[in-house]
Amino acid sequence: MSNKRYLQQLGQSWYLRVKVPPALQARVRNTHIRRALGTRDLDEANRRKWPALAQVHAYLHELRLGTTAQLAPVAVATPVISETKTPVAFPTIGLRAHRGLDALSEDWAITSALKTVQYQRQQAYKELRAYLGGDCNPEHVTDALAAAYVDDQLCQSLDSLSTRRRKLSALRAFWEWMASRRYLPRGTNPWQGFRLRDCGTGSKPPKRPYTMAELVTLFSGQPTYPTLREVMVLGLFTGARINELCSLTQGDITINRGVALVRIAESKTQAGLRTIAVAHPIAFSVLKARYRKGAPASSQVFHELKGGGYDGKLSWHVGQAFRYYRNRKLPRLTDTA
CATH number of the domain enclosing 227:
3.90.15
Q: Which residues contact residue 282 at a Cβ distance below 8 angstroms, ignoring those fewer than 6 apart? A: 233, 237
Q: 208-221 burial string, b = 16+ CB within 10 Å, else e?
A: eebeeeeeeebeee
Query: How many domains does the chain divide into?
Result: 3
DSSP-assigned letter for residue 336: B
Question: Is 336 within a domain?
Answer: no
**Are 191 and 95 within one domain?**
yes
Helix (H) / strand (E) element for 7: namely: strand 7-10
Question: Is 29 within a domain?
Answer: yes
Per-residue pLDDT at 201 exceeds 80: no
**Are 173 and 266 within one domain?**
no
> What mean pLDDT is predicted for residues 281-305?
94
Domain containing 216 equals: 212-329
Q: Which amino acid is at 118?
A: Q
Phi, psi of 144 (to 5 degrees): -70, -40
**Are 196 and 251 within one domain?**
no
Percent of the chain exceeding pLDDT 90 equals 37
**Are 169 and 227 within one domain?**
no
**Are 241 and 292 within one domain?**
yes
At 70 the pLDDT is 35
Question: Is 134 within a domain?
Answer: yes
Q: Which amino acid is at 107?
A: D
Question: Is 21 within a domain?
Answer: yes
Q: Which of 17, 48, 80 is the last residue of a domain?
A: 80
Question: Is 337 within a domain?
Answer: no
Percent of the chain exceeding pLDDT 70 equals 86
Q: Confidence class of residue 225 from pLDDT cuts 50, 70 and 90?
A: very high
**Are 194 and 223 within one domain?**
no
DSSP 173-218: HHHHHHHHTTSS-TT--TTTT---SS--S-PPPPPBPPPHHHHHHH
**Are 96 and 179 within one domain?**
yes
Q: Which of 55, 80, 105 is the last residue of a domain?
A: 80
Question: Is 2 within a domain?
Answer: no
How deeply is 29 buried, as exposed, middle or buried, from its count of CB atoms within 10 A (0-12, 13-18, 19+)? Answer: middle
At 76 the pLDDT is 30
Q: Which of 203, 220, 242 is the last residue of a domain?
A: 203
**Are 120 and 28 within one domain?**
no
At 252 the pLDDT is 95
* Residue, of 207 and 75, whose pLDDT is higher: 207
Per-residue pLDDT at 335 exceeds 50: no
**Are 93 and 185 within one domain?**
yes
Q: 34-37, long-range: CB within 8 Å, 24+ apart, which pairs?
A: 34/8, 34/78, 35/78, 35/81, 35/83, 36/83, 37/7, 37/13
**Are 125 and 157 within one domain?**
yes
For the chain, what is the mean pLDDT? 82
Of the ranges 66-75, 89-98, 122-131, 282-291, the best mean pLDDT one: 282-291
At 149 the pLDDT is 85
64-119 confidence digits (pLDDT tens): 877 653 333 223 333 333 333 344 455 555 678 878 899 999 999 999 988 888 98
**Are 323 and 218 within one domain?**
yes
Question: Is 334 within a domain?
Answer: no
Q: Confidence class of residue 173 from pLDDT cuts 50, 70 and 90?
A: very high
* Residue, of 215 and 90, whose pLDDT is higher: 215
Question: Is 239 within a domain?
Answer: yes
**Are 53 and 96 within one domain?**
no
What is the pTM for the complete model shown? 0.50
